Amino acid sequence: MALQELRVNKLRTFLSLFGITIGIFCIIGVLATINSLEGKIQADIQSFGSNTIYIDKWEYTGGAEYPWWKFVNRPSPKYEEVNLIKERSTLSKYVCYFNSITTNIKYQDDQLSNVNIYGVTEDFDNIQTIEIAYGRYLNQTDFERALPFGVIGYTNAELLFGKPEKALGKQVIFDGKAIVIAGVIKKQGQSIIDGFEYDRCLILPYRSFAGIYDVNSRNTQPFLMVNGFEDISTIALIDELRGVMRQIRRLSPRMDDNFALNDVNNFSQSISGFFGQVNAGGWAIAGISLLVGAFGVANIMFVTVRERTSQIGLKKAIGAKSRTILTEFLLESAFLCIIGGLLGLLLVWGVTAVLSTVSPFPITISADIISLAFSICILLGILAGIIPASIAARMNPVVAIRSK
């Protein structure tokens, strides 16, 4: 009957269902986009290392009122502090020194600008997930003897050598130093947050990095990474590291900390809270569209009940119960809403397919979102059709049969 109603009154039904279509489009579109974006950002945050504390002179809070003047004169983390932390900390599993600078690198006549040069110590790949596509990662001998080997990012290898695998064994030159490519990092993809740009980096052993650059220069960005044991909370790790760092820096009880302990998990929680607010806004917008659509479906059902009044009277006269009539119209109302939801879903699929080709992250529609959307359609159909269905169920069969 619902399909017959669509065929007979195509324009009227379409206009009435358009509100449902737009509402479902908004719900699925907003939830899919926000969930995909949040998943990408959370994955980027996790790339910093799980259960990891970053020791820096800067606090990673940001904001309009960021008190940079409190941190700018703090001493930068030192390479020597790595072994001191390892000796004094019982909760730390891995400790790594990291420093970076941006420069240009050359291979023969080709040059790349703004390449991130990372100088790291041995535990870096234990804290970070470094997957090698070709060749090998830095080994213990490279670190101990400061050998001129490095690991290059996938995009850099493509731009310099055409094919990434051709980078192995080649020498690149930067700031008067020649480095042999030992490995190529697996392609990571674009990062939304300002993290490690592995696709556009060159990773060196710390001693090789320190032989080229002044690690205490303002042009470099040093910090320490401390990874705790799996069963240790970041709160306990921070408490211990604060005491250890104050001992290393020889700070008296009355002196403030001259370092910052940044917990990556705080970023993840902040992101979740932010996207929760964005989702609430999306629900508010979609709710208005769905309310309009519900009135449209209710209008269809009122008209349908009036057009079928004589049929209703005939059905009741031959024994149809009121609950049967009620169920019939509620099912029809819910079916109409599902059709509107399907149109909205098809519209979202088309839009997300286009956006995924240009956005820095793929937009996916999960099964949970689709199930939620159709549950909303069914509930909305029942609510929109309950009054017309109740009117039909209460009709007097004699009076209904006489109507035209």
Q: Name the phi and psi angles at 66, rounded to 5.
A: -65, 120
Q: Which long-range contacts (CB under 8 A, 24 or more apart) does 269-276 make?
A: 271/38, 271/41, 271/42, 271/45, 272/38, 272/42, 275/34, 275/37, 275/38
- On whether both 315 and 179 belong to a single domain, the answer is no
What's the token pair of residue 198? Answer: 């592995």
For residue 63, is it within any domain? Answer: no
Strands 223-228 and 132-135: unpaired
For residue 56, is it within any domain? Answer: no
- On whether both 252 and 291 belong to a single domain, the answer is no
- On whether both 151 and 177 belong to a single domain, the answer is yes
Question: pLDDT tens track of the chain, all 404 residues?
Answer: 666 766 766 776 777 777 778 878 877 887 788 777 777 776 666 656 568 899 999 888 766 677 778 888 889 999 999 999 999 999 999 999 999 999 999 998 889 998 999 999 999 999 888 899 999 999 999 999 999 999 999 999 999 998 999 999 999 999 889 999 999 999 887 655 556 788 999 999 999 999 999 988 888 889 999 999 888 888 899 999 999 999 999 999 889 899 999 887 766 666 666 667 777 776 777 777 777 778 878 887 888 788 778 888 888 888 888 888 888 888 888 888 888 888 888 888 888 888 777 776 778 888 888 888 888 888 888 888 888 888 888 888 777 777 65
CA–CA distance, 331 with 315 (Å, rounded to integer): 17
Strands 223-228 and 92-107: antiparallel
Residue range of the domain that includes 248: 75-258
- On whether both 242 and 327 belong to a single domain, the answer is no
For residue 60, is it within any domain? Answer: no
- On whether both 87 and 219 belong to a single domain, the answer is yes
For residue 49, is it within any domain? Answer: no
Q: Are 297 and 336 in contact (CB under 8 A)?
A: yes
Report the number of distinct structural domains present in the chain.
2
